[in-house]
Amino acid sequence: MYLISVPNLPPVFSVHIEASSLYFLYKANVTVDTTIELLLKCFQAHVKDVFDYKFNCAGQDLQSTDTLKNLGLKEGDYIQAVRIPFKLYVKM
């Protein structure tokens, strides 16, 4: 008989990312240690468009170094994905 030790993994739960400009809802399975940076990369890979996005929750912009634990996000919470507008520069 063999005993296998498995580390205590953090629980996985779902958060929803709402992109009003795209009219869809993205469901992400995450842990409390997931950073906003990683979540944003996964979202942008799923969306596959040329725009950059930032996340907003409860009226506050989320920083890339924040974790879901630090933000207090839990199962079923909504994060809003906001397009960052293009900056056009005209050379004169």
Domains of the chain, by residue range, sit at 13-84
Confidence bin at 76 (pLDDT 50/70/90) = confident
**pLDDT tens profile 5-31:** 667 777 788 888 888 777 778 888 898
**What kind of fold does domain 13-84 have according to CATH?**
Ubiquitin-like (UB roll) (3.10.20)
**pLDDT tens profile 40-61:** 998 988 888 778 889 998 888 9
Q: How much is the pTM?
A: 0.75
What is the predicted pLDDT for the residue at 10? Answer: 73
Q: Which of 11-20, 27-36, 78-87 has the highest mean pLDDT?
A: 27-36
* Distance set, CA 28 to CA 25, 57, 77, 88 (Å): 10, 15, 11, 32
Closest CA to 67 of 23, 26, 30: 30
